[in-house]
Amino acid sequence: MSDKTNRTFTLTDNTTGKSYELPVLPASIGPDVIDVRKLYADTDHFTYDPGFTSTGSCESKITYIDGDQGVLLYRGYAIAELAEQSDFMETCYLLLYGELPTKAQKNKFEHDITYHTMLHEQLMYFFRGFRRDAHPMAVMCGVVGALSAFYHDSTDITDPKHRMVASYRLLAKMPTIAAMAYKYSIGQPFVYPRNDLKYAENFLYMMFSNPAEEYIINPVISKAMDKILILHADHEQNASTSTVRLAGSSGANPFACISAGIASLWGPAHGGANEAVLNMLEQIGDVKNIPEFIARAKDKEDSFRLMGFGHRVYKNFDPRAKVLQQSCHDVLNELGITDEPLLDIAMELERIALEDPYFIEKKLYPNVDFYSGIIFRAIGIPTSMFTVLFSVARTVGWVAQWNEMIEDPSQKIGRPRQLYTGETGRSYLPLAKRP
């Protein structure tokens, strides 16, 4: 790394001629940052960056994205390598601890997670408060938030042991809660987790087995699910992770913070996009209708957007979409699904969009959500559960980032300021004197 210390940016007020030196903090890779922490004290001015397009909210060592090159690294390891050669439990260990585990560390980690997959029996009653047709993300927000009412022995965020116990509990219980949300929605009995199954296998077992018959794990499907979990595990300071960090910065307990992250992920511009992609493909209905929808996506007067396309950071192919595209074909081939019309529409939509000057100029490429929904649908997961699966995968990223924030000595409560353009002060007018 070149010697970047002592670099500064000079800011000059062109009305007073006064200059301010802003230090540059060097990154190990990617953009350096201009440290504006003293800007308000020195200049009586705030920076202004709605949507945080040019703002670094924190220092992190967990995930790195190069949007122009389409690069995604978890603790320095390329996502395609991890998806091909690792598994989700090992990736969770890597994200949480920063290093790939030894064989002994991996076995202990998997054992500890496995033996936390059951829920307190009382929690089952929370589901009954929801209508059966409640969106499963609403159930996830409620039940995950309720965990803070059950696990008082791991909510002291200043205690690293408490934090890790809470992190393990969240990682272990999310698949169980997600599968219960699904079973509740279809009126089937909850399925208890099994300690002899791997994480992804256990999730599929809790989702699809029932008391009336034996459930056979399909290794191709469970491998695809494990790969999908890896691909969705973390993604730098996205909206839901930033939500978890902001909630955690006030000292809120980890269960409440993850519930806040689930709520943010639910939005169709974020994790809800995988559900929106399937709904969009079904709305398009036939390859011949694609040009109409491409035209709508380009029409400034039309709020329609091509779901699964575009990204705040990636201005190239989302590397996760490339891996998912292959997994999509593997799953469909394994299941003998050769006539999936939605996949035909998706492939033709991708081909047309990538040749269209509007999408090329705006650097709108397929993102992680473009293919995941087709795989989930092929596995038999209902569209309303797609974002729930995303939240199961992303929980490890949320808790890793949450732990990193709390351990950061420079950490303060997040409290952004604003550009105020409202009324500048007026006297109250009693009702009797108003027109």
The contact set with ligand SDX (CB under 6 A) reads 235, 238, 269-271, 273, 297, 305-313, 362, 364, 367-369
Which candidate in 226, 311, 318, 356 is catalytic? 311
Closer of 269 and 337 to ligand SDX (Cβ)? 269
Closer of 223 and 394 to ligand SDX (Cβ)? 394
Q: Rounded to the nearest 10 degrees, how much is the dihedral formed by the CA atoms of 243, 245, 248, 249?
A: -110
Closer of 184 and 309 to ligand SDX (Cβ)? 309
Closer of 144 and 273 to ligand SDX (Cβ)? 273
Closest CB 171 distance from ligand SDX, rounded Å: 18
Give the residue among 205, 252, 275, 258 at the shortest CA–CA distance from 392: 258
For ligand SDX, the nearest residue by Cβ is: 310
Closest CB 432 distance from ligand SDX, rounded Å: 48
Closer of 124 and 269 to ligand SDX (Cβ)? 269
Closest CB 81 distance from ligand SDX, rounded Å: 18
In the residue annotation, 111 being an active-site residue is answered as: no
Which candidate in 87, 234, 356, 369 is catalytic? 369
Closest CB 423 distance from ligand SDX, rounded Å: 30
Closest CB 118 distance from ligand SDX, rounded Å: 29
Closer of 137 and 157 to ligand SDX (Cβ)? 137
In the residue annotation, 311 being an active-site residue is answered as: yes
Closest CB 144 distance from ligand SDX, rounded Å: 18
Please list the active-site residues.
311, 369
